[in-house]
Homo-oligomer: A and B are copies of this chain.
Amino acid sequence: MTLAALKARLTDIYLLNRANAVLSWDQQTQMPPGGAAARAEQLAVLGKLAHQMLVAGETGELLAAAEAETTGMGAEQDDAAYVRVAREVYDDATKLPESWVVEFNRTTAQAHHIWAKAREEKDFQQFLPTLERIFDLVRQQADYLGYAEKPYDALLDKFERGTTSAEVAAIFGQLRTALVPIVHAIQANQDRVSDAPLHGQFPSAQQRAFGEFVVKQFGFNFENGRQDVAVHPFCTSFSPRDVRITTRFDETWLSPALFGTMHESGHGLYEQGIPLHWENDILGNAVSLAFHESQSRLWENVVGRSRAFWGHFYPRLQATFPQQFENVDVEAFYRAVNQVKPSFIRVEADEVTYALHIMLRFDLEQAVINDGFPVKELPDAWNAKMQEYLGITPPDDGLGVLQDIHWSLGIMGYFSTYALGNMLAVQLYDLATAQHPSIPAEIAEGQFETLLGWMRSNIHQHGSKYRPKALLKRVTGADQIDPAPFLRYIQHKYGEIYAL
């Protein structure tokens, strides 16, 4: 009975949050410019009501009683999992005092505009006072949330529950040691690959048709989802039967929409794979950001940049853009989409250098949060790390320390999940392939049921029933994400492309 009352309350909150997501999706894909001010007010009210309902004394009482009710249940039982997740959500919300929440929201709401202008004008000084204030607030947040070893652990835990910064640092250390020499070796053989085929004239309508055809083959169900255009593409879900992916079209450059669509469809396939009995249930959320990113990177890179994939799909792409690809064979195209080239902008980075962009941010965030590194010295530290990891130095802060939106939103501790997801993608793919050796041949035939089916039954169907590390253990047998499969994949793939 108590559990039923708790569920009724949390379901209302969950539905409010989904309504909020609908308004955000509309804001980013449909809303006319004039709608911005009223939309901000609508979103604020939905957020306020959901927060008030969550932190209300009644929720805490129901939760405590439900915990008593489910004591002794095994973790395999849904109700035990439900109460565990409810506790996590409730604690996250109640540990932060109202005064902090108000100040944080006020500061970050103003910060967006200041950051955008500073980036536009390549002037870090404009953003510095705001960024200092945000780092102060986030440092306070870490104290409110609590941690065992380092303040940064509290932040990381928000996004990848149960993973510590020490673990991530160890994984990243192994990764960096292996990647930096590979990047240098590739640099020496740059002339083996040209990305020229990806630049030219590509009308949006044809790009859209090809991209949607591909992700439909992956298994993305357009009866239960749709694709729209957004400036900053994303995936959002209002139900496993209503998943919205977004993309952006550059009519002179094929890559953003082509790989962006595959990437977001990976997120979307995860959301569409959540069991229907958790349609409006907190257990129907994805387990963690690293797992989510593992799915997007799987379809974008491990599948979507593979020779097997293009062996099947390239003739169709050629037929879609006959003039553009008249004199480009599949091997040249395969190399083009796998060009490795150190660059300033993370979101445009290739598979090999991407993790180095992440490590840089991970290092700097930890330095500020854990060790009080001065925020005003971040631009120089950024540029020094870029030189150390990638051998290049940004010409200005717009291409350097100001490039990401995350800090202006007060989101610290998030970046590492991108790189963790990258590694996890290969780890999961190798496992699926070990259990189903037919997968690579199926990809070469444009068949993805076995691969998707494995992800469905091993990852998607569990929602957030298990803790991220418990799910990892259950699927891989390992206690933490293993960089070895990713490194083997990189060495094998790019060793061949670049004749290392």
Contacts and interface: CB of A to CB of B under 8 A. Distances in A.
Contact of A241 (B12, B22, B35): B35
A377 interface: no
A155 to B, nearest CB: 30
B19 A46 contact: yes
Contact of A224 (B26, B34, B42, B280): B34
Contact of A30 (B18, B30, B46, B221): B30
Interface in A115-169: none
A56 to B, nearest CB: 13
Given A19-B42, A26-B26, A45-B16, A34 B226 contact: no
A273 to B, nearest CB: 13
B280 A30 contact: no
Given A26-B26, A41-B15, A242 B34 contact: yes
Contacts of A241: 32, 34-35, 37-38
Contacts of A78: none
A16 B221 contact: no
Contacts of A16: 45-46, 49
A238 B34 CA distance: 11
A449 to B, nearest CB: 20
A32 to B, nearest CB: 5
Contacts of A238: 35, 38-39, 42
Interface string A209-248: 0000000000001111110000000000011011000000
A411 to B, nearest CB: 24
Q: Is the interface of A mostly helix, strand, loop or mixed?
A: helix
Contact of A239 (B22, B35, B44, B221): B35
A31 B241 CA distance: 10
A222 B38 CA distance: 16
Nearest to A21: B42
A191 to B, nearest CB: 46
By CB atoms of chain B within 10 A, which of A34, A49, A280 has the most? A34
Interface in A5-36: 12, 15-16, 18-19, 22-23, 26, 30-35
A363 interface: no
A221 B41 contact: no
B37 A19 contact: no
Nearest to A35: B242
Interface string A270-290: 000000000110000000000
Nearest to A225: B32
Contacts of A226: 30, 32
A429 B37 CA distance: 34
A166 to B, nearest CB: 40
A19 B35 contact: no
A35 B223 CA distance: 9
B23 A19 contact: yes
Nearest to A25: B26
A46 B279 CA distance: 17
A395 to B, nearest CB: 36
Given A32-B223, A221-B34, A226-B32, A42 B23 contact: no
A335 to B, nearest CB: 37
Nearest to A23: B22
B26 A22 contact: yes
Contacts of A38: 18, 238-239, 241-242, 279-280
Contacts of A46: 15-16, 19
Contacts of A32: 222-226, 241-242
A26 B29 CA distance: 12
Contacts of A242: 31-32, 34-35, 38-39
Interface in A41-73: 41-42, 44-46, 48-49
A18 to B, nearest CB: 5
A223 B280 contact: no
A242 to B, nearest CB: 3
A226 B228 CA distance: 15
A34 B34 CA distance: 30
A246 to B, nearest CB: 12
A391 B35 CA distance: 48
A384 to B, nearest CB: 45
A94 B35 CA distance: 32
A42 B18 CA distance: 7
Contact of A15 (B15, B45, B279): B45
Given A32-B225, A35-B242, 7 more contacts: A12-B45, A15-B42, A16-B49, A19-B46, A34-B241, A37-B239, A39-B239
The 3 closest A-B pairs by CB, nearest first: A35-B242, A34-B241, A38-B239
